[in-house]
Amino acid sequence: MKHLSILGKINATIGILFFTAGIIILVIDVNQDTFLLHQSMGIAYLCLGISIFLSGSFFKKKSRHN
């Protein structure tokens, strides 16, 4: 993460948090037998977390080589 700018690091952190929340919600749904693939918020959070995490790679620091 050294090559990411501040915004990239924030995006990566938020992506990890959404991904973790998605896993937790998914596990709770499966344990309670209320899991429906087309209505699961866990799947939505997983997808959102992955996309935000990957979008963080677009924010790289500019090199200082002249």
Q: Is residue 64 part of a domain?
A: no
Q: What is the mean pLDDT of residues 39-52?
A: 91
- Please report the pLDDT score of residue 66 as a whole number: 54
Q: Is residue 26 part of a domain?
A: yes
With b for 16 or more beta-carbon neighbours within 10 A and e for fewer, the 23-45 pattern comes to eebbeebeeeeebeeeebebbeb
- Please report the pLDDT score of residue 65 as a whole number: 64
Number of structural domains the chain divides into: 1
H helices present in the chain, as ranges: 6-31, 41-55
Q: Which domain holds residue 12?
A: 6-58
Q: Is residue 1 part of a domain?
A: no
Q: Is residue 12 part of a domain?
A: yes
The answer to whether the CB of 15 falls within 8 A of the CB of 51 is: yes
Q: Is residue 20 part of a domain?
A: yes
pTM: 0.81
Q: Is residue 38 part of a domain?
A: yes
